[in-house]
Amino acid sequence: MALITQAPRGTNDVLPDKSYEYQYVERVALETALNYGYKEIRVPVFEHTELFERGVGDTTDVVQKEMYTFFDKGGRSITLRPEGTAGVARACMEHGLLGDALPRKVSYAFTCYRYDKPQTGRYREYTTFGVECFGAAPPAADAEVIALAAEYFSSLSMTNYRIELNSIGCPECRKVYLEQLRAYFAGHSGELCGTCLGRLEKNPMRILDCKSPVCAAIAEKSPVVTDFLCEDCKAHFDGVQALLQAMDIPYVINPRVVRGLDYYTRTVFEFVSELPKLEGLALGGGGRYDGLIEELGGAHTPSLGFGLGIERVLLHLRELGAYIPEPEPCAVYIANRGEEALVQAAKLANELRSEGLSAQFDIVGRSLKSQMKYADKLGARFTLVLGEEELQTRCAKLKDMRTGTEEAIALEDFADTFAQIWFRLAEEEMLAEFA
């Protein structure tokens, strides 16, 4: 039975009283992205496995250990997306979005799947907000995507995080770095874990992501990539930094940020929480991937982007005590007794809803007393009681549940009158907040 009544490990149900938090951070994200020219794209939750093997890289932890891969009934190998970039790049290529009107800017907010050990901020199903900018080589593009993320965080009143910046060079200068790295790790081959031994020949940079404490300790003393940047990559990195400084976006250089996915070239960055309870948690990360589109069979298209973990952004905001606007649960609850009152309540509720207000009335035939209890549980701001007397006098008492004050209101133009009361109250409360 437990299998039926318990969600799979590492997943989160977003319950009705918390979903507004997701809606808010996702809405602000997509709106911020739109101001930078990013329009939303939606792509399938699953893709051909090969896309991730080629795009993300077959020596990465994500591909080697964390993918949800299965054969569908047609015998195709299918994988639930472990991240957003590969599928979004595939869709843009497939639909000819990378042919002209470059740079092409797209954004997305959707779930991804990684089979990893669940812990705080790490889930098997998580939500990512990301942006991808295709066809933009100069440093201005890098600075702009970082500025977008910073602007988003600022719109959420998010503080206590840092931007860690690095450059991992181009395939040319990385060749020299990889040789040095290989030589360094070869000197420790007796201590490396099995997975990392396999990576030694093929892709020694991926040893830097290994979570085993022994490999991590060895990696700590390894050569750093920034010491091997070629002139062009160095100039590009300097250009990104000059622009970030000009835009007053604070960052720190961390030459150990190499990212865990294979497609990155040159600029890479991470947004890291600095809150004591979450210190070091990556809220998001991204960078340039100038070779990805070619790797997937397209034309050379220098591109870049980032992905944030929405659950991690929420963890950070909650820990910070940041304000997340909560929608009014119910502006007015119309309690009613008797058949005629029920009809009147239904009509009034519909009129209120047409005015854009949230209204509810009893639809299950409860006693007046339990209707009032229910209104209280809903958090209704006002209640209106309709019974025989109210129908006869065509007038009913509107009660402010927060202050306890009552006001008699004519039923004929109730929706209009209530809308006026409601919007005046909203204005007063907003003014009081800023006073």
- Chain residues binding ligand HAM by CB under 6 A are 83-85, 114, 116, 121-123, 126, 128, 130, 132, 260-261, 282-287, 305-309, 311-312
308 or 334: CB nearest ligand HAM: 308
Radius of gyration over alpha carbons of the chain, in Å? 28
Residue 291 CB, nearest distance to ligand HAM (Å)?
A: 13
- 268-274-277 Cα angle (round to 5): 130
258 or 348: CB nearest ligand HAM: 258
Residue 355 CB, nearest distance to ligand HAM (Å)?
A: 40
Residue 37 CB, nearest distance to ligand HAM (Å)?
A: 16
**H or E stretch covering 266:** strand 265-273
The CB-nearest residue to ligand HAM is 309
86 or 386: CB nearest ligand HAM: 86
Residue 119 CB, nearest distance to ligand HAM (Å)?
A: 9
Residue 310 CB, nearest distance to ligand HAM (Å)?
A: 8
Residue 308 CB, nearest distance to ligand HAM (Å)?
A: 6
Residue 338 gets which letter from DSSP?
Answer: S
Residue 123 CB, nearest distance to ligand HAM (Å)?
A: 4
138 or 356: CB nearest ligand HAM: 138
CA distance 68 to 260: 18
82 or 204: CB nearest ligand HAM: 82
How far lies 10's CA from each of 20, 112, 113, 124, 186, in Å?
Answer: 21, 12, 10, 5, 36
283 or 419: CB nearest ligand HAM: 283
Nearest to 46 by CA among 27, 15, 72: 72
Q: Extract the tokens encoding 344.
A: 């009147």
The separation between the first and the last C-alpha atoms of the chain, rounded to the nearest angstrom, is 55
* Cβ count within 10 A of residue 124: 19
DSSP readout, 112-174? EE-----BTTB-SEEEEEEEEEES--SHHHHHHHHHHHHHHHHHTT--SEEEEEEE---HHHH
Torsion of CA 136, 137, 142, 143, to 10 degrees: -90
CA distance 375 to 167: 57
261 or 401: CB nearest ligand HAM: 261
